[in-house]
Structure 1
Amino acid sequence: MKKFQFIILLSISVILCGVVNAQTDAQLGLHSEGGPWKFYPSKEKNDSLKNVLLIGDSVMNGFHQIVIDSLRENANVDYWLTPKHLNSEYLFSDLKIVLTSNQYDVIQFNIGLHGWPKGRIKDDEYIPLLEKYVQTLIENAKGAKLIWASTTPVTEQDRAELNMEINPTITQRNEWAIDVIKKHNIVINDLYGLVSNKLFLAKLDRFHWLEDGYGLMANQSTGFIKRGLNESSALPTLSDYNVVWHSPSVNSLGSMPLGNGDIGISLWVEESGDLLFYISKTDAWSENARLLKLGKVRLSLSPNPFRTGLPFMQELILKDGLVHIEAGSKEELVSIDVWIDANHPVVELDVKSEIPISAIASIEPWRIERRQITDKNEIHSAYGVNGGPEVFVEKDSVLANNDGIIWTHRNNRSIWKDNLKLQGLEKYSKQNNDPLLHRTFGGLIRSKEMVKAGHGKLKMDNTLKQFSISVHALSSQTETQNDWTQQIMHSAKIIELLSRSERFIDHKNWWHSFWSRSYIHVSTDDANEKEKVYNVSRGYALQRYMNACSGRGNSPIKFNGSIFTVDTKNLDDRFGGFDADYRQWGGPYWWQNTRLPYWSMLEAGDFDLMLPLFKMYRDALAVRKEATKVYYGHKGAFFPETMYFWGTYTDVNYGRDRGELPLGTTENRFIRHYWQSGLEISLMALDYFSFTQDEKLFKETILPVVTEIVNFYDEHWGRDKNGKILFDPAMALETYKTAVNPLPEIVGINKVCKELLRLPDNLISKSQRKQFKRLISELPEIPTRVVEGEKLLAPAYGYSGKQNIENPELYAIFPYRAFGIGKENIELARRTFHQRAIKQTGGWQQNAIKAAYLGLIDEAAELTSQNFNASTTHYRFPTMWGPNYDWTPDQCHGTVAMTALQRMLVQYDGNKIYLFPAWPKNWNVDFKIFAPKNTTIEATIKNGEITRLEVTPDIRENDLINTLKKAE
C-alpha cells in the first residue's frame, strides 16, 4: 500500500473525532476500530415511531445528522459508522449484531470506499462478497426496506477533477454492485450520479465534500427513506416468498422441492460437486404398497461452476414454478432453469453458459439388489406388511437403450390378493384387478446434445454454451416390461414434437393461473412481530405450493412426506441411515392425517387438487360395500381409519394370527371401531359441491359414496328404548377405545344429513330426503359433562381406555361446525376449548382451526403463528416441517395452519359468509379466497380498517356478515 493511503485514513479519523455520545461497541459485542468508528443508537427513541438504520463511512458521517433532523417526526435513526470493507475481518458477524439490535423498517447502506486499495478485495471476490453482505441484510432484517447508496466519486487533492487512480475502481464496483442490487429488488440511491457533475462541491481531500454537497446527499437520502417508511408496512407479494440460497447445500437435507402435481423432485447442488435430484411420482406403488422414489439423477458440469468460493445463487421462483440457478464467475457464468412441465410428465433442465462446457447426466439407482428389510426402524417404512413374513425390496433395472437412459422398477409380485384373502374378501379379489401387480415405474433421460456413455450415463461429444436435458416419468401397469418401455418412448416422442418454448409458456401460465386463483398476504406494523407475521404469510404460500406440487396425481397426497422424502444418511438419530424410500408409517392412508391438506383447499379454490382424494374413495367404494356385507350382513359402506389406497385394512392392523376374533374385527385396538373417515369425507365432499356446484362430479362420485356411508350408519347400530341410535360398540376417535354414543358420530351424522337436505330435489330423491330427516330425529343428544361446576361438551356418553392425544369433543367445532360464530351456545364450545386436555399445536393437532371457528382471535393467531414459525430442524427448505408424529415434510403441520388462517378471515354457514371472525387488529392483510356458490371474496385491511372489499358475484354481498373488531 502506498504511503499516502495511511495518511488519508488518518486524516479521516481526525475529521471524525468530533462525534460524541456513542454507545460503546463492547456492550453490543462489536469489534470496534476505536475512535469515532462505532454504532450510534438514536439519542431520543420514540416507541411510536418506526426505526431507520444508516450504514456507511465518513461520507455518510458528513450528512447523517441532516437526515436525522429531517426524520425527527418520522423515525428513530440509528447509524453505524464503520471503516469495514467487504473483506474485513468480523464484518459479517458485526453486521448481524447491528441488524438484530433493533427492529428496522428502513436501512440505507453503503460499503464501498474503504475497499478500494489494491489487494484488499480481488475483482473476482467483490460480487460474491457483496452477495453475502446483501443476504446477511435480508436474513437478519426481515421486512426492512433496503436502500443501497452508491459510493461517491473520488477527486484529486488539489483540483475538482476525478482521481484517475482510485475513481475507476469506484465506478467499476458501483456497476458490479448495481447488478447485485437490482437482482434483489433493492432501491438504489445513486449518490455517485448526484454529485459526479458537481465536483466543485468536493472538499478536495479526495473523499469528502463541502456542506452543500452533503446537503444534496442528505436531501436525496431523506426522500428515499421517507418513501421506504411509507412502504415498509406494505403487504408482501408472491415474489417476497421466493426461497433464495447463496451457497450450495451439503447433501439432500438441503434439497429444494419442485413439482407439477404428479411428479416431484428434491433438488440440491453440492459445493465442488454436482446438481442432483430425487425424482418421485404420486403412483409409484411397489409390490409391498410402499410409495417409492423413481430414482436419483446427477448432472456433472465441466468446468465445474459449483467450485468452492465461486458465486452461487439458487432461487425457487414461485410465480413460474421453477428453480433458477446461477453459478460461477461473471465471465464463466452458468445458468440453469429446472421445471417440471405442468401439463406433461417430464422434468426439464435448460442450461446456458458464458463459455462452452461439457456435461454428463446419469441415473444413480440404489435398489440395485434384492434385499430384505431387517432393521427394526426401517421396517416401519413398510407399515402394513411389517410384523409378518420377511419383507423384501426388489431391485430396479437400467435397460439397454440407444435413445437415452431408461430405468424401471417392475412389480412381479403383489401383496394385494393375499391382503384381501386375509380379510375374507377373496371373492372380491377374483372379480377385480390387482392394482399393484405388473405396475412399472421409472424414467427416461434424453438430450439432443448428448450421447450414450456407458451404463446409465449420457455425455456431450462437444462443449456447448447451451443445452437441455429431459427426464420423462411414467408409472403404469403393463403386460410386459417392453410394453412399458414402448409407452414411455411414445410419450417422450409426442412431447418432443411440441415446441419446447411454447410448452414452457404454457407451464408458466398454469402457475400464474394457480397463484391468481387465491392468495393471503399478511403484514404488521408492530416491529416486534414483523418476522413472525412474515413467516405466517410466507408459510401459507409455500405450503400451498407444496399442495400444488403433489395434488394432481393418481393418488392423494401422502401426509407423511408427500413425494419429497429424501435419504436420512446424514441424520444421527434413530431415523438416520436410510434411503430416500423411507417414510415413517409407510404407504397406507390414515384419515386423521390425510384429510388435513384437503380442508385447506376449499377456501383456496384449489378444487382440482381435491379430485384425487374423492377418486380414491369412489374407487374403493365397491370393496367397502363388499366388506360391510361380508362382515355385518347389511347395506352401506364403512371406511377404515387406516387403509391401503384400494380400501382395505393393512395386514398388521387387521391381524394375521386372529385367534377367536370375528370376521371383520381388527386385531389393532386403536382403529377397531374407528370409522369416522366416512362421515368426514362426506362433509368435505358436500362442501366441495357447495363451493363448486359441480353436478357431474356430485352425481358420479360424491353422491354414491355419501349415500352408502349414510346407509351404513343407518343400519349398523340398533336403537335404544327411546328410538335413538345406540352407538355401542364404538370409539371416540382413536383416543378412547371404548365409547358409548361418541360425540363425533352424533354431530357428524347430524351435519352430513343436514347438508344433504339442503340439496335441490333434482339431486336427491324423496325417499332419501325422508331417510336423512329420520336419521337426524333418531340421534341422541350431544353429550356433555360438568367439570368444576362448568358444563362442557363430552367425548361420549361413556368412554374409557385413553390411548391417544386427541380432543374428540372438539369435533363439534371442527370439522362438524355444530358450534361457532353466529350459532347458539358458542360459550359452551369456548369453555370446552379452554378446558381441553390436549393443548399443543403442530403436526395433525387442529387446535388452531378450532380457535378460529370460535372467534378466539389471540389463540388462533398464536397457534397459527407457532405452526408457520416452527423450525425445520435438519432441513434447509422452510416448509420441511416434521417429522412431528409422522414424517418430513409433514403435510398436516402446514395445512392445519393454512386452514386456520383462512377461517380467521372467512367462515361459511349455509348462505351466510362471516368476514374476519378471528382476525387480529394489528395484522394487515390482502386476500382473495373462495366461499360457497362459486363466490370469491377479495379484501384489504390496513391498520384495522377495511380499505377494499369486492365480492363476486355481486348478489352475494347480501350474505356477508362483517365481524371485524375495530382497531383501538
Structure 2
Amino acid sequence: MGKHDLLFRKPIARWDEALPLGNGLTGCLLWGDGAPLRFSLDRGDLWDLRLAPEVQDERFTYAEMIDCVRRGDQEALLSRFDSSYERYPYPTKLPAGRLELCVDQPADQVVSRLALREACAHVELTYGSRAVQVSSFLHAENGLGYIRITGGLSGKLAVVPPDYTGMHEESGESAVFHTSLTRLGFPAASMHEEESLHWFHQKTPLELEYAIIAGDQELANGDRLVVYAIAANHDGEAWLEEAKRKVKTALVEGYENALRDHASWWKRYWDKSSVSLPDEEAEGMWLLTNYLFASCSRKGAPPMPLQGVWTADEGKLPPWKGDYHNDLNTQLSYWHYMKANRLEEGESFLDFLWELRPAAKAFARSFYDAPGINLPSVMTLKGGAMCGWPMYSLSITNQIWLCQAFDHYWLYTGDWSFLRDKAYIYFKESAECVLRWLAPGEDGKLRLPVSSSPEFHDNRLEAWLDPMSNYDLALLIYLFRRLADMADRQELYEERDQWSAVLAQLPELAVNERDVLMINAEESMTESHRHFSHMMAVYPLQLLDPRNSERDKRIVDASIYNLEVLGKGQWVGFSFAWAAAMYAQQGNGTAALYHLQQMWRYLCSPNGFHLNGDYRHAGVTMYHYRPFTLESNFAAISALQDMLLHADGETIRVFPAVPADWAEQEVAFQDFRGEMGVVVSARMSSGQLEYVKLRAERAGVFRLQNDFSGERLHLDMGGKTEFIICGRKKVADIRLEAGESCAVTMMK
C-alpha cells in the first residue's frame, strides 16, 4: 500500500465520497456496500447544449444591460440576463450513467483503497468467511474501464442509464442544486444484450446520442473480468459498433496487459515532479490533487468544468449545472500545473480556449457589439452563454482573467513561438473587445460603462458599482501592462507604445486611509466575504509585490490584515485556498499552511473533493452545504507550491514561505518549473538550504536569490566548477545553455 493512498474501512455511502478514477475524458466514482457496488460514470463531452430563449433574443446585448442598470430596472435585468439559468434545466453537463454489481445483501465488511500512483481502485467485500476483491481502473490511454473480480462474486452486472424519466421528484428548491434530470425531457434509454455484452443506448432531443457498453466474462482461473466503454456519436459514424468491438477485444487481451500499459503512463506522469515534506497531510494532498488533475485534465479532452469528469450521480443536475465558470473556477483549476511541471495535461485548457476563438469572436460581436474576442463567464462546452447573475456571468473583464492562462504558459516555458503565435494574439484580441467600451470619465481617466466586483452584493442593484471596481481595474492594468511587455519583447514598438498609452490613462487602484484595497473608490470591504475580487492586484495578478517597494508591502500587508479583522464567517472553500496563496506571497508560511489545513480538514470530502462549505459543522464558516467543485483543490496546491518556490519576475526564490517547523526538519521539491524554461530542484534541512539545482530547457540567464547561510557559492555545471561571491538575499545571475544543468551549493 502506498504511503498516501486513500483508505476507507467502512462502506462509502455517497457518490461525492467515492474512489475517483479518470483518464481526462471519462471518469468513474466507485462506491457502495455490495448491494450494489456502484461505478458512477461520466464523460467530459456529454452536454445538453440547448440555449435558453433569452440568450437568443435580440435584446440580449451589453448595451441593453447597461441601459437596464442606468434605469435601475432590476426586473428587466433579472428576466433578460439572469432568471433563465434557473428557469430552464439546460444547458447543462450530463451524467453518463453507471454500472452496478449487485448481490443479494450488503457485505459484512467493506474496505476500499485508491492506489494513487497506479491509479487503481481496490475494494474488498467480506461475506462471512468469504472475501471478494474488486479492482478497477480507467485506462490512461485506450479510454476503456476495467474491473477484475476475484473470490467468486456471482452478483448481477447491471448497466444503468441516468434517471431521465421520473424516479426522482424535484424538491422545489434552487435549480443550482436540486433540479431533477426529468426536466430535460429525454426519452428512456433502450436496453440491449448481445453475447457477453450489455449496453444502453440513450437518445436525446438533440444531435447527441451515447451509450455505456459493458462486457462481462468468466475467466479460466475463476476470476471475472468486466470491460466497459462510454461511447457517443461524437466518436464517428459507426461509434456504437466500434465501441462494442473495442470492449470485445479488450476482454480477450485481458486485465494484466492493460494494467501494465496503464501503470506505465502513470509512472511517466509521476516522474515529472515530486515533493518531500515533513507534513504528511500536505504531502499527501499534493499527491492526491495531482492525481485528480491528471484524472480530469488531459490533452485531447475537454478541460475540467466545475466537477471535472465526476458529474453528480443522484438523479439531478450537477451543482451549477456542471458548467464552465470563468469568474474564478476555470482559472483556479489551472493555477498549479505549470509549476508542478504537468504541461501536457494543463494544455487542455489552453487548447480549449484557443479553439473557442470563433465562438468568442461571435459573442464579442453579438453581445458586446465589438471586435476581438470575449467568452461568457458562465458558459457551455461550446462557449454558449448560460446567464446567471449578469454582472458576473456577463462581465467583460473576466475574459482578461482567461488571458492569464496564456501568459503563465509563455512565462513558465519561455516559448517564443507560443508568445508570438498564441499568447500575444489572444491578449490583443481580448483587448480589442474591451477597448470598444473603455471611454474617458469626467476625470479624463478611462472607465467601463458598468462595473462590478464578484460577488459583492450578490445580484442586487447595489452590485453595479460606480466608479469602476478594483477588480475590473486590476484586470485592465494587467492586460495592458502585459501587452506592452509582450510587444516590447517582440520589438513591436509602435504597438508597445499604443498599449502603454492606454495603461497611462487608467486610474490608480483604490486604497483607503488604512492602505487597504477597496471594492471601488466609494466602498471599502466592511464584512466577511467569500470572494477576494477587490484584491486581484495582490493575487493572482501580482501587480502589487511586497518585495518590490515599501508602498506595495504596506498595501498588501494592510489588505491581508483587513481580511483577518473581518473574519471567515462568509468564506467558502476557495476563500481559504486564495488566502493561503496571498499569505505565501507575503512570505507567511505559517498562515498559508493554516488556511490550507482549514480547507482540507473541514471543507473537503474524505476522498479529497472540495465541497465548498463547512459540511462538518466545525465552525470555520457559516456555510454548511456541500456542493462539489474542483477549483479549490488545485488553488490550494498552487499555494503550497508557492510556499516552496517563487519564480515570478524571473527571480528564483526557494522555500520563500515554509513554516518554521518545516525548515527545521527536511523539505524538498524535485523538478518544479520556474520562468523562462528552467526546471528547479532544491532541498533544505535543519534550517539550512543544502542545494539548488537548475536545468535549462532554453538558453538564458537565470536569476537565483541567495538563500544560503553564507555568501560563497559553488556552481557545478556538468563538471565545470565556478565559485562566486553573492550577498545573502542578493541575486546571482547564472548563464546556462539549452540542456545544461547547474548545482548550486554553499562552499564549506
In 1, the alpha carbon distance for the partners of 2:128 and 2:341 equals 43
In 2, the alpha carbon distance for the partners of 1:519 and 1:648 equals 38
- SS of 1:796's equivalent? coil
Residue segments in structure 1 that go unaligned for 5+ positions in a row: 1-183, 185-238, 414-437, 451-462, 524-532, 568-577, 654-667
Deviation at 1:401, TM superposition (A): 3.8
Q: Does structure 2 conserve the Cα–Cα contact (< 8 Å) formed by 1:336 and 1:351?
A: yes
Name the CA shift for 1:545/1:640 in 2 (closer, same or farther; >3 Å).
Answer: same
Deviation at 1:949, TM superposition (A): 2.8
Partner amino acid, structure 2, of 1:292 = L
**1:130 paired residue number:** none
Q: Does structure 2 conserve the Cα–Cα contact (< 8 Å) formed by 1:680 and 1:815?
A: no
**2:585 paired residue number:** 853
**1:92 paired residue number:** none
Name the CA shift for 1:807/1:275 in 2 (closer, same or farther; >3 Å).
Answer: closer
**2:531 paired residue number:** 806
Name the CA shift for 1:808/1:581 in 2 (closer, same or farther; >3 Å).
Answer: closer
**2:402 paired residue number:** 681
Normalised by the length of structure 2, the TM-score is 0.77
In 2, the alpha carbon distance for the partners of 1:835 and 1:378 equals 33
Residue 587 in structure 1 maps to residue 323 in structure 2: yes
In 1, the alpha carbon distance for the partners of 2:131 and 2:559 equals 61
Matching residue within 369, 373, 379 for 1:637: 373
**1:783 paired residue number:** 510
The superposition leaves residues 338-377 of structure 1 with CA deviations (integer Å, 9 ceiling, x where unpaired) of 1110001111012334xx6645322123426368974323
**1:249 paired residue number:** 12
In 1, the alpha carbon distance for the partners of 2:242 and 2:285 equals 39
- SS of 1:861's equivalent? helix
**2:80 paired residue number:** none
Residue 817 in structure 1 maps to residue 542 in structure 2: yes
- SS of 2:223's equivalent? strand
Name the CA shift for 1:897/1:478 in 2 (closer, same or farther; >3 Å).
Answer: closer
Name the CA shift for 1:448/1:771 in 2 (closer, same or farther; >3 Å).
Answer: farther
**2:3 paired residue number:** 240
- SS of 1:248's equivalent? coil
- SS of 1:465's equivalent? coil
Q: Does structure 2 conserve the Cα–Cα contact (< 8 Å) formed by 1:323 and 1:337?
A: yes
- SS of 2:653's equivalent? strand
Partner amino acid, structure 2, of 1:514 = Y
Matching residue within 546, 551, 554 for 2:297: 551
Deviation at 1:496, TM superposition (A): 6.2
**2:521 paired residue number:** 797
In 1, the alpha carbon distance for the partners of 2:345 and 2:240 equals 29
Q: Does structure 1 conserve the Cα–Cα contact (< 8 Å) formed by 2:11 and 2:33?
A: yes
In 2, the alpha carbon distance for the partners of 1:965 and 1:869 equals 36
**2:259 paired residue number:** 504
Deviation at 1:763, TM superposition (A): 5.9
In 2, the alpha carbon distance for the partners of 1:732 and 1:919 equals 32
In 2, the alpha carbon distance for the partners of 1:395 and 1:838 equals 51
Deviation at 1:403, TM superposition (A): 5.6
Deviation at 1:832, TM superposition (A): 1.8
Residue 937 in structure 1 maps to residue 680 in structure 2: yes
Name the CA shift for 1:374/1:391 in 2 (closer, same or farther; >3 Å).
Answer: farther
Name the CA shift for 1:843/1:246 in 2 (closer, same or farther; >3 Å).
Answer: closer
**1:72 paired residue number:** none
In 2, the alpha carbon distance for the partners of 1:441 and 1:693 equals 41
In 1, the alpha carbon distance for the partners of 2:10 and 2:385 equals 46
Partner amino acid, structure 2, of 1:895 = F
Deviation at 1:753, TM superposition (A): 3.5
Normalised by the length of structure 1, the TM-score is 0.60
Alignment map for 1:765-914 (pairs within 5 Å): 765-786=492-513, 790-798=514-522, 805-824=530-549, 825-836=552-563, 839-840=567-568, 842-845=572-575, 846-870=578-602, 872=604, 876-879=606-609, 881-883=611-613, 888-914=627-653
Deviation at 1:242, TM superposition (A): 0.5
Alignment map for 1:81-230 (pairs within 5 Å): none
Matching residue within 437, 448, 456 for 1:727: 448
Partner amino acid, structure 2, of 1:468 = L
**RMSD of Structure 2 on Structure 1 (CA):** 3.6
Partner amino acid, structure 1, of 2:682 = A
In 2, the alpha carbon distance for the partners of 1:645 and 1:758 equals 32
- SS of 1:951's equivalent? strand
Q: Does structure 2 conserve the Cα–Cα contact (< 8 Å) formed by 1:881 and 1:893?
A: no
Matching residue within 108, 113, 119 for 1:308: 108
**2:668 paired residue number:** 926
Name the CA shift for 1:613/1:546 in 2 (closer, same or farther; >3 Å).
Answer: same
In 2, the alpha carbon distance for the partners of 1:602 and 1:757 equals 23
Q: Does structure 1 conserve the Cα–Cα contact (< 8 Å) formed by 2:357 and 2:373?
A: yes
In 1, the alpha carbon distance for the partners of 2:249 and 2:497 equals 53
Deviation at 1:409, TM superposition (A): 2.5
Name the CA shift for 1:942/1:857 in 2 (closer, same or farther; >3 Å).
Answer: same
Matching residue within 214, 232, 235 for 1:445: 214
Q: Does structure 1 conserve the Cα–Cα contact (< 8 Å) formed by 2:573 and 2:612?
A: yes
**2:161 paired residue number:** 365
In 2, the alpha carbon distance for the partners of 1:764 and 1:340 equals 48
**Structure possessing the higher relative contact order (Cα contacts under 8 Å, 6 or more residues apart):** 2
Name the CA shift for 1:882/1:751 in 2 (closer, same or farther; >3 Å).
Answer: closer
Deviation at 1:266, TM superposition (A): 0.9
Alignment map for 1:447-596 (pairs within 5 Å): 447-449=216-218, 465-477=222-234, 483-492=238-247, 501-523=256-278, 533-552=279-298, 554-559=301-306, 561-567=307-313, 578-579=314-315, 581-596=317-332
Residue segments in structure 2 that go unaligned for 5+ positions in a row: 50-89, 457-462, 615-622, 711-748
Deviation at 1:605, TM superposition (A): 1.6
In 1, the alpha carbon distance for the partners of 2:153 and 2:394 equals 63
Name the CA shift for 1:756/1:768 in 2 (closer, same or farther; >3 Å).
Answer: same
Deviation at 1:925, TM superposition (A): 2.0
Deviation at 1:849, TM superposition (A): 1.0
Partner amino acid, structure 1, of 2:688 = E
Deviation at 1:563, TM superposition (A): 2.9
Aligned-residue sequence identity (percent) comes to 16
In 2, the alpha carbon distance for the partners of 1:674 and 1:839 equals 28
Matching residue within 178, 200, 204 for 1:411: 204
Deviation at 1:625, TM superposition (A): 2.3
Q: Does structure 2 conserve the Cα–Cα contact (< 8 Å) formed by 1:298 and 1:363?
A: yes
In 1, the alpha carbon distance for the partners of 2:277 and 2:129 equals 41
Name the CA shift for 1:589/1:879 in 2 (closer, same or farther; >3 Å).
Answer: closer
Q: Does structure 1 conserve the Cα–Cα contact (< 8 Å) formed by 2:373 and 2:432?
A: yes
In 2, the alpha carbon distance for the partners of 1:758 and 1:887 equals 43
**1:949 paired residue number:** 692
Deviation at 1:905, TM superposition (A): 1.6
Residue 341 in structure 1 maps to residue 139 in structure 2: yes
Greater gyration radius: 1
Matching residue within 322, 328, 335 for 2:120: 322
Deviation at 1:943, TM superposition (A): 3.2
In 2, the alpha carbon distance for the partners of 1:880 and 1:844 equals 9
In 1, the alpha carbon distance for the partners of 2:224 and 2:532 equals 56
In 1, the alpha carbon distance for the partners of 2:603 and 2:265 equals 31
Bigger shift: 485-494 or 675-684?
485-494
**1:258 paired residue number:** 21
The superposition leaves residues 248-289 of structure 1 with CA deviations (integer Å, 9 ceiling, x where unpaired) of 334546521111122111102415x34321011111113533
In 1, the alpha carbon distance for the partners of 2:652 and 2:560 equals 23
In 2, the alpha carbon distance for the partners of 1:791 and 1:285 equals 47
Name the CA shift for 1:357/1:391 in 2 (closer, same or farther; >3 Å).
Answer: closer
Name the CA shift for 1:396/1:500 in 2 (closer, same or farther; >3 Å).
Answer: same
Q: Does structure 2 conserve the Cα–Cα contact (< 8 Å) formed by 1:842 and 1:893?
A: no
Aligned length: 641
